[in-house]
Structure 1
Amino acid sequence: MTSARSAAWFSGIFFAALLLLALSPLPVAGDLEARAGAAVAPAVDAVRGAISPVTDIVLHAGQISELSEENAALRQELSRTQADLASLREGRIALEQANALIASVGAEAGSTITATVILRDPAPGRQSVVLNQGSRAGVRVGQPVLGSGATLLGIVTEVNETRSRVRLITDRESAIAALLQSSRTTGSLVGDGRELHLDFVPLDVAVAPGDVVLTSALGGLLPPGLLVGRVSEVEAPGQELHQRIVVDPLGDLERIEQVLVMTGFRPGTDIAPASEDAN
């Protein structure tokens, strides 16, 4: 119905225009033209209003496309800037961690280099990490790897020119000579994939939770006096010859980022012992 009315309306306008054209030579033509113009003016305005948005879109299509390209370029530039800022922030954090690590260890560890953990072994029970330093930086198999406060984290087991693998002290294959600071009793500190156990401590040795465990120089595989952990549980089974002692590592082995490798240490040689007094 609406379409029919619109067609009739425009047909009427068309025929009115033809009539004005035919009567234009007559004296009354001017008056008729003015009246007809006034009559059709609303329709003309309506048509103009209807097509105006379409006209604007066509006229400004180029500008819209240009603005879209500019917005896309700005978004890319913003993403690059944010990535650069994140990289700078991570670099600053790594530098601060390395400086704090060096300051906490001091000169007692001898010659050291800083290294960053770049990979962690995901296998269950395997506790090892890969560092971004290798033989070019002086890293050798058997060198201790330290965390904050000269705490032992692990020992280097594999090395190439630019990378090295460290077996953490909680690994199932880890076994190091250790001693109880309070009694000076030695034992074997072994990992089970999650925690540490100090084995071969006789039943008659007094051991209590909180006792500090240090590295021992027995065997010459580690420098003496490095902090390792604190006793958390003690059990003395009646039918066994040794106590069952659980030790918590002092280093945070789950969140290692920056470490120190004792490049001045050679297994089987003497170095100046680290302090054996824990605060």
Structure 2
Amino acid sequence: MLILNRYSWWAGVMVGLAILLGILGQVGVLGPVQGVFLRATAPLEALLNGVFRPVATILSNFSEIDELQDENARLRVENEDLRNQLAQRQQDAQRIRELEAALGLAQGDTSQQRLAANVVHRDSSPFTSVITIDRGSNDGVVKGMVVTSTQGSLMGTVTRVTPTRSFVRLITDTRSAVRATVLGAEGADGILRGNPGRTLTLDLAQGAIQVGDTLVTAGLGGSFPYGIPIGIVSAVEGSAQDLFPKVRVEPLTRLETATTVLVLLSFVPEALDTEAP
């Protein structure tokens, strides 16, 4: 009870003192005292400002860093989205160019019936180069048909057909062999073969073959019609003592990046390759 009375007395004194100081401050009695107090505490205030201002600055910087990180993350997402849109537009543009080329080729040579198809899968390795297209037996495709680029350059042959899909062995596949001849040079020919690493060589080459010559299908054996462009001779290696020079060939079309191809429906091969892709 005594402790409670003392606490009540102390609280009452503090409240009364606060009221008194408030009244004196309002009437201006404490003005001189306040000036002395502020001058006395100014060094302490400066010290405290010097200590806490860097802390406040650091805390403010942390807040700005968080904002910058959020902004950076947002910009990365926007940049990725823009890059994806650009890539899609480039693919669409390439697709349009290939379709336009296919349409122009079909209109320019009405003697050949061609079927446009999309490349839906690629099976590429150092020894294998096979693509899958979205056309099959339902569209009139049969095994052994010739496949070209939209510009008319040889790409390969159909090796297996399903109702809605066909597998095409490209000329760079190591199992591919095409009888080829130099355009405009009688007696200059050989067997075009795919090599490991998806390169081309003209094996058993004979005749006057030079760098820059254009190779076309020879039309022998019944597997290909005559005159389909294949590639350009990029190198001829060997000496006069060699029975056959080593001829390297650069294909006319980019086999690994084409998205649209043409199946030559009007040519039915006489000799069909029985191997699976």
Query: How would you bin the TM-score normalised by the shorter chain?
Result: 0.5 to 0.7
Q: Which residue of the partner structure matches residue 43 of structure 1?
A: 44
2:274 maps to which residue?
none
Offset at residue 143 of structure 1 (A): 1.9
Cα pair distance change 1:145/1:34, threshold 3 Å? same
The SS at the match of 1:172 is: coil
Would you say 1:90 and 2:91 are equivalent positions?
A: yes
Matched residues in 1 for 2:149 and 2:66: separation? 56
Note the alpha carbon deviations across 1:148-195, whole angstroms, 9 max, x for none: 642212212234456543322243322234445446559662415033
1:130 and 1:163 in contact (8 A); partners too: no
- Structure 1's unaligned 5+ residue stretches are 1-20, 270-279
Q: Deviation digits for residues 177-216 of structure 1, max 9, x if unmatched? A: 4445446559662415033325486xxxx53425544324
CA distance in 2 between counterparts of 1:235 and 1:148 reads 35
Aligned length: 237
1:155 aligns to what? 157
CA contact (8 A) 1:182 1:211 kept: no
Give the gaps of 5 or more residues in structure 2.
Answer: 1-17, 271-277
Relative to structure 1, the CA distance from residue 61 to residue 174 in structure 2 (aligned partners, 3 Å threshold; closer, same or farther) is closer
State the match for 2:124 in structure 1: 121
Distance 1:213 1:67, change over 3 A: closer
Query: Quick one: structure 1 residues 196 and 79, their matched pair in 2 at CA, closer, same or farther if it must change by over 3 Å?
Result: closer
- TM-score of the pair, normalised by structure 2: 0.61
CA RMSD of aligned residues (A): 4.5
SS in 1 for 2:221: helix
Q: Measure the CA separation in 1 of the matches of 2:180 and 2:193.
A: 13
Per the alignment, residue 165 of structure 1 pairs with 167
Aligned to 1:143: 145
Q: Hey, what does 1:215 align to over in structure 2? A: 217
Deviation at 1:49, TM superposition (A): 5.4
Question: Kindly, what percent of the aligned residue pairs are identical?
Answer: 24
Comparing 55-64 with 141-150, which one deviates more in the overlay?
Answer: 55-64
Structure 2 partner of 1:196: 201
| Cα gap change, 1:245 to 1:107, in 2 (>3 Å) | farther
Match of 1:257 in 2: 258
Question: How much does 1:121 deviate?
Answer: 1.5
TM-score (norm 1): 0.61
Q: Distance in 2 between matches of 1:67 and 1:149?
A: 51
